[in-house]
Amino acid sequence: MAQVLEFKLPDLGEGLTEAEIVRWLVEVGDVVAIDQPVVEVETAKAMVEVPCPYGGVVTARFGEEGSELPVGAPLLTVAVGATDASSASPGDDGAAAEEPSGGSGSGSGNVLVGYGTGAPAARRRRIRPERNTAPAAPAAPAVVSAPSRPAPVAVGEVNGRQGPVAVVSPLVRRLARQHEIDLRGLTGSGPDGLILRADVDSAIRQAGEAGAVTEAAARTAAEPVVAETSTVQVGAAAPAAAERIPLRGVRGAVADKLSRSRTEIPDATCWVDADATELMAARAAMNAASGPSGGPKVSVLALLARICTAALARYPELNSTVDTAAREIVRLPGVHLGFAAQTERGLVVPVVRDAHTRNAESIGAEIARLTELARTGKLSPAQLTGGTFTLNNYGVFGVDGSTPIINHPEAAMLGVGRIMPKPWVHNGELAVRQVVQLSLTFDHRVCDGGTAGGFLRYVADCVEQPAVLLRTL
């Protein structure tokens, strides 16, 4: 006799209270194994797959794709011990759905926080009931199945041929569905024709412009032409309705954090131009010394990160936070360096743990690893929190300078503009050098301008003369 167990949305950690259903991984009637991922959800921190802690037949799902559920809300129900679809009905034993007691053979017994319990996912299969000529008894109304999700666009005609539609992000697919955009008619601008969110946004704008033109033409044809002396008046098209985008998920979390930073932190910004020619030459020499098969190349961001850790060792005031309740400045013992990364989900800040103990190569390897996880939406909440100082390289967007907003509750952020050839006085003569603008936004409660200026000047000196860093190690 089957026992129906209710699986609720677990605590995903880091103080998160809700999650958005991005994609269901199982259907009603599927057989799931213990710790098999059953749904993909997006939180304010990351996109994660949630595993079910026990195995059986899925009898109901709660929540459609795109909807938000609070932690503790029912996610799905599973009939444990069912051998066919008919035994999966919750009406068989007449008992209401209940929580697993833990330690039984039906569940993993592990507490789910953020990610699963580590068991490999079993291949799911559909259980179909055997045909019976006798009239079927009405199903008990104890559990109501949620409507099944629409099938994702997987295969279509692209450029005149049948083939897979190159879409990785479920968020892109959902955005296209919401605006009735046929992904099979789009040409992706990403690698290997990958369809990005920017491609869908462009198609949405084009569809809106085409709709406005059609509406204007229809209104013009329908309204009478009124002659006034030599002027002909025709009806103007109605203005298009404004688009409303919910502030939730990553965008909502970013909005809350930036608003809190501006509200609580009395920040100030100082900046300086630096000659990065020698830094670029040092990077080229390091990468050349490693040889063609000597491992990954050292990036400019990794070198700047290493310079930041050295500067924070000399100016620890900027590696701190403010306890407003206790009215205390808390200087932190280690540097957990965050770096800003732009993804399809928005701006995220992965954190390189214990950056003060790493060299440039180690920092660069960790930045590369975290960047790839950010690109694929697989960063865990723990990898996005706990930073003590942030490095923001907005030069990748082709801009020279900015005034960064501090990543609350940190005390400072270093911004780096693009490195580009500019006229510069070098050794008393005008020359073309590789110049970069550095800007430091700092919490004026933790230090004064002298400390902030000293930190920024040390960073600039290391950029201009990398040997300065070597002398202070």
- 282-318 pLDDT, tens digit per residue, is 999 988 887 666 677 899 999 999 999 999 999 999 9
**Other beta carbons within 10 Å of 161:** 7
Instruction: Give the closest residue to 282 by CA, choosing from 470, 3, 43, 6.
Output: 470
Between 239 and 306, residue with greater pLDDT: 306
Specify whether the CB–CB gap between 70 and 9 falls below 8 A.
Answer: yes
Q: Tell me, what's the pLDDT at 273?
A: 97
* Lookup: tokens for 369: 């690893």
Specify whether the CB–CB gap between 145 and 156 falls below 8 A.
Answer: no
The H helix count followed by the E strand count for the chain is 8, 24
* Lookup: tokens for 44: 């304010």
Q: How many Cα neighbours within 13 Å face the side chain of 53?
A: 22
Dihedral Cα 263, 264, 270, 276, nearest 10 deg: -100
Q: Is the whole-model pTM more than 0.85?
A: no
Quick one: the chain helix, strand, coil %, rounded to 5? Answer: 30, 25, 45
Strand order in the sheet with 18-24: 47-51, 37-42, 18-24, 68-70
444 annotated active-site: yes
**Other beta carbons within 10 Å of 364:** 23
pLDDT band for 367, please (50, 70, 90 cuts).
very high
- 370-413 pLDDT, tens digit per residue, is 999 998 888 888 899 999 999 999 999 999 999 989 999 999 99
Residue 334, judged by CB atoms within 10 A of its CB (0-12, 13-18, 19+), counts as middle
From 179, 408, 426, 444, active-site residue: 444
